[in-house]
Structure 1
Amino acid sequence: MTRNDAVVDHAEDMFDSLTIGRRIRAGRLARGMSLQALAERLGKAPSQVSVIENGRREIKVGELQQIARILEVSFDDLLRPEPPSKRAALEIALERAQRGTLYNSLALPELPVRKSLSDEAIETILKLHDELRRLHEERAATPEEARRANGQLRREQSQRGNYYPELERAARELLEAIGHRGGPISQRATAELAAHLGFTLHYVADLPHSTRSITDAEHHRIYLPLRPHATDPRSTVLQALAAHVLGKREPVDFGDLLRQRVETNYLAGAILIPEQGAVEFLTAAKDERALSVEDLRDEFSVSYEAAAHRFSNLATEHLGIPVHFIKVHPSGAILKAYQNDDVQFPSDALGTIEGQVVCRWWSARQVFGSEDRMSPYYQYTDKPAGTYWCTSRIESGSAGEFSISVGTRFADAKWFRGRDTQRRLSSTCPDPSCCREPADELSSRWRETAWPSARLNASLLAAMPNGTYTGVDRVAVLEFLDRHAPSA
C-alpha cells in the first residue's frame, strides 16, 4: 500500500460530513465563488453541492480531492477536525443536536440553520438542549453506565448477526470431550461435562437469594438451588460451567457484567442446542419453507425462550435471514431485545430500549389477548420501517408471564411456517396517536373522574448497592462458602 492509499483509507475512517461541509463552504466563500460556480466546476447541480456543504451526506474521497483542487486548498486542510469559524462551530453543534435521539423525542420541527438565525439564538438553543440532556442523565444516573454499556453491546450483536464463532468452537470442543453424538444434551451429559471440567454439583437449600449459582474454584464445587430459578435445570449448570471455561471472574464494571452474561448465556445455549445439528435441522426446514421456533424447541428439548435466542444466533449466519427477538412483560415493557433486520424498537431520549413500552398493535402484546395458549401466534404488522412477520408465544417464569417473539421482514416470511396467517395490523409508533393517546371521547368522559393507583416498582427509587455491579450480597456469598466448604 502506498502512502497516498493509506492517507485515503485513513480519511474515509475520520470523515465528519458536517465539519467537512462547513470547511468547503468557508473555502468557497474565501475565494468569492458562488454555489453555482462550484457546482458547475464539479459537474453537479447546485442543490447537490448544498447538500454536501450542509453535511447532509457523506462525501467520497475522490469528490473531496476534486473540491480541494478547485478551491486551491490542501486535501488535509479540508479534513481538519476543527470548524473553520465560531459561527460554523455553532451551526455544526445545532445540526448534531437536531439529529440526536433527545431532540427527536421532543417532536419539534426541524430548525433550519439560516443566516437570519443569530449566534445568540443558537447558543440559547444549545444551552437548553444541554440542560435537557443533563436532566435526563441525572434522572437515570444510577444505571446510566449500564445503559451505555448495554447499548454498545447491542450494537455489536447487531453488526455480527448475534453470532460468535469463538463461542461456537468452545461449545463444540466441550461436546466432543464428553462424546456427545448430537441431539439434545441430557441432564446426565450435563453432569458428565461438569465432571470432565473437574467440578462436582451440590444442590442446597440455603443458596443466597441474590445468586443463581455459586462456584467454589478452590474445591471445584458448583452450588445450585434445590428449586432452580430457571425452568431448565441444565441451563444454570451450563452457565456456571461456561463462566469457568471462559475464565470469567467477578465483574469489574457494568460493561464487564453485561458482556459476561451475554457470553456465558451464549455458550450455554450453544451446548444445549449444538450448532451442527441445529443448522442441519433449520436448513432442512428452510428448504421446506417450514421454519419454526416451536420445532427447534421440541427437537432439542429446551424452553421456547432458549430456542428463540438460539435461532437469533444462527438465522443470519447460516440461513441468511435477518431477524429480531423481543421479550415483553404483560405491561408492554421490553425486557430484552435484539435486531439486525432494521425493525425500530421504542427507545427513550438516550437510545435505551429496555423498559420502554412496545406498541400495543405488535404481536408481542397482541399475543396476551389470545385464548389459545397451545398454538403459535402469527401476525403481520405494518410498521414505519416496513412490514414484518412475527411469531409470538407466552412463557411463565419466577416473575410471572412474558411474551417471546421472533420476527423478520416481509420478504423473508416465505421461509416460515405461519406465513399464511391473515392476521395483519398497523403500527405508526412512535407517533403518539398510534396507541399512546386515548380517544377524545374517552378523555372527555373520564378526565375529571379517573384516578388510578400506580403499582410502584421496588427498584424505582433504589440505587445499585455500593461496591458492587451485580447486586449480589457478597457477605452472604462468602458466609455460604465458608459454611459449605469441605473440612480439611
Structure 2
Amino acid sequence: MLEEPEVDLPTLGRRVRHARQQAGLTLADLAARVERAPSLLSQIENGRREPRLALLSHVARELGVTVADLMRPEAPSRRAALELALDQAQARPQYAALGLPRVRAGAKVPDEALEALVGLHEELQRRAEIRAATPEEARRANAALRHKMRARHNYFAHIESLASAISAAVEHTAGPLTERGVAAVTAHLGFTLHRVTDLPRSTRSISDLRNRRIYLPVEVRGGHDPRLIVLQTLGHFALEHSDPTGYADFLRQRVEANYFAAALLMPERPAVEFLVAAKAERSLAIDDLRDTFAVSYETAAHRFTNLATEHLELPVHFMRVGEDGVIYKAYENDRVTFPTDVTGAIEGQIVCRYWASRQVFHNPDRYATHYQYTDMGRGTYWCTTHVERTADGDFAIDVGVPFEHVRWFQGRETTLRARSSCPDPACCRRPPAELADRWSTHAWPSARAHSHLLAAIPPGTFPGVDDTEVYEFLDRHSVTEAQVR
C-alpha cells in the first residue's frame, strides 16, 4: 500500500489564498459559500491547519479550480514563494538564536524588500552549511593568521611592551615567575583567584567580570601549567579583548593571550639577555631556556620563536607533532617545506617520517633531546626535538633552523642525518615495492578516524563552551560568595 504524500500546509494555504483572490472573493465570502467559519479558512490559508478532503473539494469547486491545483507543491506566484521562503527562514534555529523579531510578510511589504530579506537569509544559511559541513573556516583562519605572524617574525611589540610594564610593576625582573608572582599580577589587574571543584568541563577557567573573580579547577586538567592558565585568562583583559566576532577573531585573541602569558613567564629583557649571551658562546639550547625560567619545553620553544628572529636574526620553524605524525601546531619563517592542504593549512597534515619530529619517537630514550640534520629539496635544516608527555599522549616539540645558522646551537655536532623528498610520494608515503607485493591484496586495516579533523566548528561566541553551564556556575558561586560575606 502506497503512502500518501505529505501535504505542505504553508504552500497549500498560499494556493488557496491565491485562488480566492483571483476569484475576487473575500475570506468571508468564501466562508459563507462553503458554510464554514472565516477563522477556520484563515488558519488553512496561513498553513496552520490541514483541511479535510471534503472541505478542500468544496473550496476548489467554489473557486473554479481542482483539488490537484491546490495541492501542487510549488508556490502559486513569485510573491507567494518569497513569503514562504521568509517564513521558513525565520523558523530556523539559527535565526531564533539571534534574538531578532520576525518580519511578517504582509501586503504592505514591497516585493523588493522580500527579495532582499530572503536573499540575506539564503546567504546566511549557505555560510552556516559550509561552516557546519567542514572545518574549512578554521583551517583558512589558521593559515591567514600564520601568514600575519610570519610577516612580523612572530613578534608582537605591543604585547611585549604591556607585559614588560606589568612585570616591572610586580617586580619580576629575572628568573622563574613564582605562584606568588602570578598572584601579584592577578591583583595588579584587579582580579582575585578562586579554586573550585565544579568548573564545567568545557572550560579551563571562568571569569566573573562583575565581581572581578577568576575561577580555576583545584587540579589542572591535561597537565597544563596552572600559571599559564591564569596568565592566559588575564591576557584577554589586559589586552582589552571583546567578545570575538567570529572564529578568526577568536583564534587571534587566543594567540595574543598565549603570547602575553609567555611574555610574563619569560620577560623580554632577561630572556633576550640570556639568549644573546648563549648565542655569543655558541650554546643556544631550548632546554636551557626552559630550565632558566622553569617552564615547559613547549612554552620555551614558543617563546624562542617570538624572540629569535627579532633579536637574534635567526629564521626558525616550530612544530608540535603527535606520535602518529599529525601536526597540531606549526610556524615557520625559514622557508622549510611544511605539508599543506589546498587552503594552505598545515595543522592536521602528516609530517614526513624522516623528519626529526617523527624520528625522535624511535629513539631508545625518546625523552632525551634529539638533534638531527635533514636534507630537503631546498636545503638542509637542523632540528632540536624533545618529547613531552601529556594526558592526551606524547608530542614532539621541534625547533629548527637552516644549516647556515646551526653554528650558534648546542647539539650541532650530531652525526644523525636524514633525507626527505616529501611531498614526493616516493619519499615515505608509498610503501616499498617488496612489502606492497607481499601484502597489498591481503591487508584491510580499520582506520582510527581523527574526528577533530571532520567536526564542525562548535557554535557560540566562545566555540565549544556551554553558555548555560557557565551562567549556572556563576549563579551558584555568586550565591555562595554572598553567604560567606
Same structural fold, with TM-score higher than 0.5 when normalized by the shorter chain = yes
The 3-state SS of whatever aligns with 1:433 is: helix
The whole-number CA distance in structure 2 between the counterparts of 1:466 and 1:326 is 28
- Aligned twin of 1:417: 410
1:166 counterpart (158, 162, 169): 158
Contact 2:298-2:397 at 8 Å conserved across structures: yes
C-alpha displacement at 1:450, in angstroms? 1.0
Aligned pair partner of 1:358 in 326, 332, 351: 351
1:314 equivalent in alignment to 2:311: no
Count matched residues. Answer: 353
User: Which residue type is aligned with residue 300 of structure 2?
Assistant: A
**One of 131, 141, 144 as aligned partner of 2:136:** 144
For residue 389 of structure 2, the aligned residue among 393, 396, 415 is 396
- Say which SS state the counterpart of residue 425 (structure 1) adopts: strand
Q: CA deviation at 1:447?
A: 1.7
2:333 alignment counterpart: 340
Aligned to 1:51: none
Task: Please tell me the residue identity of whatever aligns with 1:353.
Answer: I
Are residue 198 (structure 1) and residue 190 (structure 2) matched? yes
State the shift of 1:424 in Å. Answer: 0.5
**1:487 equivalent among 469, 482, 485:** 482
- After TM superposition, the score normalised by the length of structure 1 is 0.70
Q: Which runs of 5+ in 1 are unaligned?
A: 1-136
Q: Distance in 2 between matches of 1:466 and 1:271?
A: 31
| 2:292 aligned with 1:272 | no
User: Residues 351-392 of structure 1: CA distance to partner in whole angstroms, max 9, x if unpaired?
Assistant: 111000000000000001112245310000001221000000
Counterpart residue identity of residue 169, structure 1? S
CA offsets, 1:90-109, max 9 Å, x none?
Answer: xxxxxxxxxxxxxxxxxxxx
Contact 2:133 2:456 in 1 (8 A): no
Deviation at 1:184, TM superposition (A): 1.3
Aligned-pair CA distance for 1:469: 5.2
> Is contact 1:252-1:469 (8 Å) kept?
no
For the structure 1 residues 386 and 307, does the alpha-carbon distance in structure 2 shift closer, same or farther, using more than 3 Å as the test?
A: same
Query: 1:290 is matched with which residue: 283, 291, 304?
Result: 283
SS, match of residue 168 in structure 1: helix
Q: Which amino acid aligns with 1:366?
A: Q
Cα distance in 1 for partners of 2:440, 2:134 equals 35
Does the 8 Å CA contact 1:312/1:323 hold for their aligned counterparts? yes
* Structure 2: gaps spanning 5 or more residues: 1-128
Q: Structure 1 residue 304 and structure 2 residue 316: aligned?
A: no
For the aligned residues, what is the CA RMSD? Answer: 1.8
Quick one: structure 1 residues 412 and 398, their matched pair in 2 at CA, closer, same or farther if it must change by over 3 Å? same
Structure 1 pair 142–249 and aligned structure 2 pair: CA distance change class (3 A): farther
SS class of match (2:427)? coil
Per the alignment, residue 69 of structure 1 pairs with none
Aligned counterparts of 2:330 and 2:366: Cα–Cα separation in 1: 22
Aligned to 2:369: 376
Q: Name which one, 1 or 2, has greater alpha-carbon Rg.
A: 2
Counterpart-to-counterpart distance in 1, 2:438 and 2:173: 65
Kept in 1: contact 2:131–2:457 (CA 8 A): no
Q: Deviations over 1:242-271 (max 9, x none)?
A: 111011233220111110011000000000
Post-superposition offset of 1:468: 4.5
Q: Deviations over 1:16-56 (max 9, x none)?
A: xxxxxxxxxxxxxxxxxxxxxxxxxxxxxxxxxxxxxxxxx
Superposed CA offset, 1:413-440 (max 9, x none): 0000000100000000000000000011
Instruction: Work out whether 1:226 is the aligned partner of 2:218.
Output: yes
Instruction: Name the % identity.
Output: 55
Pick from 194, 197, 206 the counterpart of residue 214 of structure 1. 206
- Partner of residue 256, structure 2: 263
Q: Residue 434 of structure 1: SS of its match in structure 2? A: helix
- CA shift for structure 1 position 350: 2.1
Letter in 2 for 1:295: D
Please state whether the residue corresponding to 2:336 is helix, strand or coil: coil
> Which 4+ stretches in 1 moved above 4 angstroms?
137-141
Instruction: State the AA in 1 paired with 2:425.
Output: P
Any conservation in 2 of the 1:333–1:356 contact (CA below 8 Å)?
A: yes
Counterpart Cα distance in 2 of 1:450 and 1:265: 44
Asked whether the 8 Å contact 2:348–2:453 carries over to 1, the reply is no
Instruction: Using structure 2 for the length normalisation, give the TM-score.
Output: 0.70
Q: Distance in 1 between matches of 2:409 and 2:463?
A: 39
